[in-house]
Chains A and B, each alone.
Chain A
Amino acid sequence: MANLEQFSYDNTIVKKFAIASVVFGLVGMLVGLWAALELIFPTLNLSIPYTTFGRIRPLHTNAVIFAFVGNGIFMGVYYSLQRLLKTRMASDLLSNFHFWGWQLIILAAAITLPLGITSSHEYAELEWPIDIAIALVWVAFGLNMFLTIFKRRENHLYVAIWFYIATWVTVTVLHIFNNLELPVSLFKSYPVFAGVQDALVQWWYGHNAVAFFLTTPYLGLMYYFLPKAANRPVYSYRLSIIHFWALIFIYIWAGPHHLLYTSLPDWAQSLGTVFSIMLIAPSWGGMLNGLLTLRGAWDRVRQDPVLKFLVVAVTAYGMSTFEGPMLSIKSVNAISHFTDWTIGHVHIGALGWNGFMTFGILYWLIPRIYKTELFSQKMANTHFWIGTLGILFYAIPLYWAGWTQSLMWKQFTPDGFLQYGNFLETVTQLIPMYAMRALGGTLYLTGACIMVYNLLKTAGQGTFVANEAVEAPAREVYVKHKGDHWHKWIERRPIQMLIAALVLILIGGIIEIFPMMLIDDNVPKIATVKPYTPLELEGRDIYIREGCVGCHSQMIRPFRSETERYGEYSKSGEYIYDRPFLWGSKRTGPDLHREGGKYPDSWHYNHMYDPRSMSPGSLMPPYPWLIENDLNTALVPGKIRALRTLGTPYEEGYDTIAIEDLQKQAMKIAESLRKDGIDDEGLENKEIIAVIAYLQRLGTDIKPKAQAGK
């Protein structure tokens, strides 16, 4: 053995990310529980804007994805990377920059999202200054990772690291392209793409955020922590190779399955479907390699809570990666889309795969960096059972709710009427299921609290090893052996691996997205579709601020049950001035794409003030502040200029007279409200007027009917 070099692993950074993951995990789950309860008790927002469902739903998703799982990824990567490469992280400074930068971004998200500062792109809600910060911190992480890889003492990169590399490069690409936006002010921007194109890019991102933030890094972690915890060799090296490359290549294509039966051209929808189906095997490759690694260790699974958590995590991964492709089949999607089925599906992934994997890793890693045993195995087992029960109580009622609601939407009477013509009937039906779901969430959160106590006790009884001393021989120049597997070649070359991964993930993205941008046929123009007036634009931005898109879709699919309920199905040409698109992904309330002219202005006024006065039993929270707040028109000229730059055909110089137009239209709407007996002081200057203007415009461009209030 050559001379051993002395060095140490940095456990402090691992500990920091672990604490952050746990803390934000609790916060994210708590916000989720709150949001779930608001669906049962609509006034639970306590009558303040910052806590309405529309605003805390993105807070919940961002907290769980980027704060809980994100910090969980970094915890696991910083722990495993150093050990797999037999070296300390290249730069403690970069590690800490990464840590503090990421926490600041989370803080910024926690402040801006409740304030309604949002781009409304799901899982990419944060506004442009934060987007830039994310890019910087992410690059610092990548740099640190690669510098560490370069100074490794191992010749070959283990499969976990392939997944880390693919994760890093793909997230970089996704984040940049989905956040191309033109700033209007520090807190407001418009996306470069509009309508269908924006939708396609967003769901290319959204789907691959699931793929490359919630899946590939966690597969990497699985490849390290599962064989370590089981003390068994990985089942098949060849399976690792095939499923890794197939997974990253195929995953990137599957985004359009979020847009089945929408206005996206059929060819793109079909690609989403078939690539999702082809994704089953590569996804299951990971599950197989995980579960089969446990061969000969199953007796220990019964006793060891760490293995229990990992087994359920991998199983949940297998279930949701089979369910996902099934949901991508158009006839299944016609039932599942816009319902709670989707919410149930993602929570099998989030609570089962990501949550349980994180818990398993924490139970394994905390005792090790504190040089002690886990405080209580019994408590960890309790956590396991409560958590598993929580997942079941969460998911099953939501599957039930999804099927119930979808069937109710589609039910016709023999004489041709919608059986449940009133949308609200299909929502109030779900309240018992929502209550069960909240119970499931509570159980899961309780389990997590037990874990926190257990881990705190564990830390308390041990002594933290900030720098874990190790020794290993220096890397020797590699001499090729005969019979080396061909794949070993790229395992010695991190840069080539980075490039290969990049090329593979670009193929699908380019083939799907470029034709949508470049070929006009894909979005047939409609002559009657005109840009929004300044007042409607302001109303739309308030709609975005309030997160209306969290519960209301703007996409009528070509089904009899939808065109009967809402009107003519949506055409891609209607959305060309929509920046961002607001198709939504869940209907807790009805679709609004043909809302314009459906009700009088005063109906909307009263409905916003107190939804239950117009729709008894509604789950929508009241929005009295829209009626109290004056509309801020300071940004109007800037918004018009920005949209003109992006291609919206406002005439030159329109920005200078836009406010005048806005006031004229506001006067008209105020007048129509006064006629119906609503005569607040300064009515025409209130935000509600802009919202009404927008709602009354929706979907009317191709509807010949006159609009109310005009």
Chain B
Amino acid sequence: MDMKKPFLNKACLILPMLAVSATAFAQDAGAGGGAQTFFYDKFFGTFMLALAAVVILAAIGTLYRLLNAMIKVKQIEIYQEKGLEAYLEEAKKPGESLWSRLYKRWTNVVPIEKEQDVLFDHEYDGIRELDNSLPPWWVAMFYITIAFAAVYMSYYHFFGMGAGSKEQYEQEMDQAEKAVAEFRSLQADQINEDNVTALTDEADLSVGQAIFQVNCVACHGANGEGGVGPNMTDQYWINGGGIKNVFKTITYGVPEKGMISWKTQLRSSEIQKVASYILTLQGTNPPNPKEPQGELYQGETDQPAPDSTAVDSGGGVGMN
């Protein structure tokens, strides 16, 4: 009787675990769609069918064992009525805890005392081998992973139900866009290049200075004297001076000049602060200034900023 047990366990194990794995991979970011080919459809179709057949056969086999076991139980009952005491005794055989019985069934190991019965007679340099059977829990785990693979490939590829990398990305972006739009709609008025004003409050300017120190000094110098990027302490501006133009340049960048766009890294309120700070640098005459670039900018006007393709340093007007 003992040796039939593993199959029963297998059935008990496989079914709930299958359910678990099905929900597990639903969260798993899968693949699918995209570049599938005829070859793959066909090959995997066959492969999966074969796999499915194996799984179904295993299931039928398990059910068969289950049925057999139930019949046996019934038989014992019948023998009991007829008073066959030998069977009665065998059926009782109590004493073991549930845990130890489960453990035995799931590991199906031959106890060390009986090891001699399953010891092969060959030896290699003194190494002997036992003929223990495969641990049933291990076998069950193997089947489950195979079933997982079959379900996974079917879900994402053969039936194309799961989202591929690309679709997942699009979904993620859509969701984020909606969430951000909703959040922003609840916020106070947004600052943009049309309504931005220069801040003068000391606290705002010191925040602006801090942002400048972290993000800008690498190219524009510690004191705005310029370096890789232009000098910001003189009155010459490549993309226009004044709060609106500076705000705009920081927000969108000037890629062809190497100025990156900061709108994904700084909030508009932060850009307003750093732009306001930059404007306070005007006329500070720091050491080692870079030569003026761009055009002389006089006061804030309503006119649009000069074209970004304007004169660069080569044609700039020398000042000193």
Q: Which 3 A-B pairs have the closest CB atoms?
A: A600-B258, A266-B31, A416-B180
Which among A80, A417, A524, A705 has the highest number of chain B CB atoms within 10 Å? A417
Tell whether, in the assembled complex, residue A234 and residue B37 are in contact, meaning their CB atoms are under 8 Å apart: no
B22 at the interface (CB under 8 A from A): no
In the complex, chain A residues whose CB is within 8 Å of the CB of B146:
278
Chain A: minimal CB distance from B139 (Å): 8
Tell whether, in the assembled complex, residue B169 and residue A269 are in contact, meaning their CB atoms are under 8 Å apart: no
In the complex, chain B residues whose CB is within 8 Å of the CB of A295:
109, 112
Tell whether, in the assembled complex, residue B34 and residue A270 are in contact, meaning their CB atoms are under 8 Å apart: no
Partner of B142, one of A240, A282, A519, A599: A282
Cα A659 to Cα B31 in complex, Å, equals: 45
- Selecting from A207-215, A309-317, A360-368, A557-565, the interface stretch reads A557-565
Would you list 27 pairs from A and B whose C-beta atoms are within 8 A, ordered by A residue? A227-B128, A234-B127, A239-B138, A266-B35, A267-B35, A267-B40, A270-B32, A273-B30, A273-B31, A274-B153, A278-B148, A281-B141, A282-B142, A284-B141, A288-B135, A295-B112, A412-B176, A414-B179, A415-B187, A417-B265, A421-B264, A515-B39, A558-B165, A559-B169, A603-B219, A606-B228, A677-B290
Chain B: minimal CB distance from A445 (Å): 33
Tell whether, in the assembled complex, residue A238 and residue B35 are in contact, meaning their CB atoms are under 8 Å apart: no
B189 at the interface (CB under 8 A from A): no
Q: Which bucket holds chain B's interface residue count?
A: 35 or more
B173 at the interface (CB under 8 A from A): yes
Binary per-residue interface labels of chain A (256-289) against chain B in the complex, 1 for a CB within 8 Å, 0 otherwise: 0000010001110111011101101110110010
Cα A524 to Cα B36 in complex, Å, equals: 12
Tell whether, in the assembled complex, residue B265 and residue A600 are in contact, meaning their CB atoms are under 8 Å apart: no
A66 at the interface (CB under 8 A from B): no
Cα A511 to Cα B42 in complex, Å, equals: 13
Chain B: minimal CB distance from A256 (Å): 10
Chain B: minimal CB distance from A532 (Å): 21
B119 at the interface (CB under 8 A from A): yes
A242 at the interface (CB under 8 A from B): yes
B130 at the interface (CB under 8 A from A): yes
In the complex, chain B residues whose CB is within 8 Å of the CB of A606:
227-228
Tell whether, in the assembled complex, residue B138 and residue A281 are in contact, meaning their CB atoms are under 8 Å apart: yes
Which among B37, B145, B168 has the highest number of chain A CB atoms within 10 Å? B145
B21: nearest chain-A partner, CB-CB? A277
Tell whether, in the assembled complex, residue A238 and residue B132 are in contact, meaning their CB atoms are under 8 Å apart: yes
Cα A131 to Cα B118 in complex, Å, equals: 47
B49 at the interface (CB under 8 A from A): no
B159 at the interface (CB under 8 A from A): no
In the complex, chain A residues whose CB is within 8 Å of the CB of B30:
266, 270, 273, 330
Residues A281 and B145 in contact in the complex (CB < 8 Å), given A236-B133, A288-B135, A675-B314: yes
A644 at the interface (CB under 8 A from B): no
Instruction: Given contact pairs A415-B184, A558-B168, enumerate 10 new A-B contacts (beta carbons under 8 Å).
Output: A83-B125, A237-B129, A266-B31, A266-B32, A266-B34, A274-B149, A295-B112, A416-B176, A560-B172, A601-B258
Cα A296 to Cα B113 in complex, Å, equals: 10
Partner of A330, one of B28, B173, B260: B28
Tell whether, in the assembled complex, residue A238 and residue B127 are in contact, meaning their CB atoms are under 8 Å apart: no
B151: nearest chain-A partner, CB-CB? A274
Tell whether, in the assembled complex, residue B35 and residue A265 are in contact, meaning their CB atoms are under 8 Å apart: yes
A contacts with B: majority SS:
helix
Which among B28, B139, B148 has the highest number of chain A CB atoms within 10 Å? B28
A246: nearest chain-B partner, CB-CB? B142
A130 at the interface (CB under 8 A from B): no
In the complex, chain A residues whose CB is within 8 Å of the CB of B267:
415, 417
Cα A242 to Cα B168 in complex, Å, equals: 38
In the complex, chain A residues whose CB is within 8 Å of the CB of B300:
none
A235 at the interface (CB under 8 A from B): yes
Chain A 629-662 residues near chain B, CB threshold 8 A: none
In the complex, chain B residues whose CB is within 8 Å of the CB of A86:
125
Partner of A227, one of B127, B176, B312: B127
Cα A286 to Cα B291 in complex, Å, equals: 71
In the complex, chain B residues whose CB is within 8 Å of the CB of A228:
125-127
A52 at the interface (CB under 8 A from B): no
B164 at the interface (CB under 8 A from A): yes
Chain A: minimal CB distance from B174 (Å): 10
A678: nearest chain-B partner, CB-CB? B228
B141: nearest chain-A partner, CB-CB? A281
Binary per-residue interface labels of chain B (142-160) against chain A in the complex, 1 for a CB within 8 Å, 0 otherwise: 1001101100110011000
In the complex, chain A residues whose CB is within 8 Å of the CB of B112:
295-296
Chain A 477-527 residues near chain B, CB threshold 8 A: 511, 515, 519, 521-522, 524
Chain A: minimal CB distance from B170 (Å): 9
A418 at the interface (CB under 8 A from B): yes
Chain A: minimal CB distance from B216 (Å): 12
A687 at the interface (CB under 8 A from B): no
Chain B: minimal CB distance from A128 (Å): 32
In the complex, chain A residues whose CB is within 8 Å of the CB of B152:
270, 273-274, 277
Cα A113 to Cα B97 in complex, Å, equals: 62
Cα A616 to Cα B145 in complex, Å, equals: 48
Cα A83 to Cα B156 in complex, Å, equals: 50
Tell whether, in the assembled complex, residue B228 and residue A224 are in contact, meaning their CB atoms are under 8 Å apart: no
Residues A599 and B260 in contact in the complex (CB < 8 Å), given A515-B39, A519-B39: yes
B183 at the interface (CB under 8 A from A): yes
Cα A139 to Cα B149 in complex, Å, equals: 37
Chain B: minimal CB distance from A149 (Å): 13
Tell whether, in the assembled complex, residue B256 and residue A705 are in contact, meaning their CB atoms are under 8 Å apart: yes
A319 at the interface (CB under 8 A from B): no
Partner of B35, one of A524, A603, A675: A524
Residues A511 and B43 in contact in the complex (CB < 8 Å), given A288-B138, A522-B37, A558-B166: yes
Tell whether, in the assembled complex, residue A237 and residue B29 are in contact, meaning their CB atoms are under 8 Å apart: no
B320 at the interface (CB under 8 A from A): no
A421: nearest chain-B partner, CB-CB? B265
Which among A237, A524, A597, A601 has the highest number of chain B CB atoms within 10 Å? A237
Partner of A266, one of B33, B109, B183: B33
In the complex, chain A residues whose CB is within 8 Å of the CB of B115:
233
In the complex, chain B residues whose CB is within 8 Å of the CB of A240:
129
Chain A 389-423 residues near chain B, CB threshold 8 A: 412, 414-418, 421-422
Cα A281 to Cα B135 in complex, Å, equals: 11
B218 at the interface (CB under 8 A from A): yes
Cα A238 to Cα B215 in complex, Å, equals: 64
Tell whether, in the assembled complex, residue B228 and residue A602 are in contact, meaning their CB atoms are under 8 Å apart: yes
Tell whether, in the assembled complex, residue A284 and residue B138 are in contact, meaning their CB atoms are under 8 Å apart: yes
In the complex, chain A residues whose CB is within 8 Å of the CB of B133:
236, 238
Which among B125, B153, B314 has the highest number of chain A CB atoms within 10 Å? B125
Partner of B120, one of A237, A416, A515, A599: A237
B282 at the interface (CB under 8 A from A): no
A281: nearest chain-B partner, CB-CB? B142
B303 at the interface (CB under 8 A from A): no
Residues A519 and B127 in contact in the complex (CB < 8 Å), given A417-B265, A558-B165, A705-B255: no
